[in-house]
Structure 1
């Protein structure tokens, strides 16, 4: 009888885990369903470029992130609160308004014939990909750290 209870508990645990993974999925949403912070970011930095699609990445505990694709091919990722995490210009020049000034200044000074095509914001750092393929890493204050391989 003890073994039957253990086996039953294992099956219940597996069922809960599998059910959680099945319920965690991406869902297409309308751009006006994005968090206000993300909508404000798009309006401020990508005004006039229509959103072609928006995806809500849902996890067991709620929304994990949002992915937004613009008609010009650019892609953005926002956290669950609508703060930008990544902006990928897909080889197009990014608008510089949201990029920290020290990052903009460093790239303009040291790589004058390039422009930023992708920007990532991590917890403690930034990563900027340039039009020449170089990836530059900066600390959270925008101070240059290294060229990433």
Structure 2
């Protein structure tokens, strides 16, 4: 391979890496710029709690996710469409309205003196952290599967 071709390839790789770093950044946004689904979720489940800040995580292909920080310290993570992925109460009780009923009932029955402080929704499961530090896993239908170590 000739030297000129090698230099061209190296420069192209460097430009791609620089572009990747430029797009893979967080950017503060006005809460009004959140997707409608995210705004509806916040206003339905966190009435009366102001949004402290909203951050957009951008990747090469566009927005990857949104992080919203409420005035009371709760952090909510949304996917690019505004669907919730995680609600972290930072050790305080989070609202239960959006949590599947199977999960709510399981926690109330089996851990009556605790409350959910964090919940994550994955493609095939949910993870819930309780006020006593126990982490529970549930399937996509909200059925208990195990205590996470």
Same fold by TM-score, threshold 0.5 exceeded?
yes
Q: Secondary structure at the match of 2:146?
A: strand
Superposition map of 1:30-69 within 5 A = 30-69=30-69
For residues 62-106 of structure 1, what are the alpha-carbon distances to aligned partners after superposition, in whole Å with 9 as ceiling and x for unaligned? 000000000000000000000000000111111100000000000
Superposition map of 1:115-134 within 5 A = 115-134=115-134
Superposition map of 1:61-140 within 5 A = 61-140=61-140
Give every structure 1 segment of 4 or more consecutive aligned residues whose post-TM-superposition deviation is greater than 3 Å: none
TM-score (normalised: structure 1): 0.96
Q: Secondary structure at the match of 1:97?
A: coil
Q: Any stretches of 5+ residues in structure 2 without a counterpart?
A: none
Distance in 1, matches of 2:6 and 2:16, equals 15
Distance in 2, matches of 1:109 and 1:8, equals 65
> Cα offset for 1:3?
2.9
> Cα offset for 1:20?
2.0
Q: Any stretches of 5+ residues in structure 1 without a counterpart?
A: none
For residues 39-72 of structure 1, what are the alpha-carbon distances to aligned partners after superposition, in whole Å with 9 as ceiling and x for unaligned? 0000110011000000000001000000000000
Match of 1:9 in 2: 9
Match of 2:143 in 1: 143
**RMSD (CA atoms):** 1.0
Distance in 2, matches of 1:20 and 1:92, equals 37
Aligned length: 149
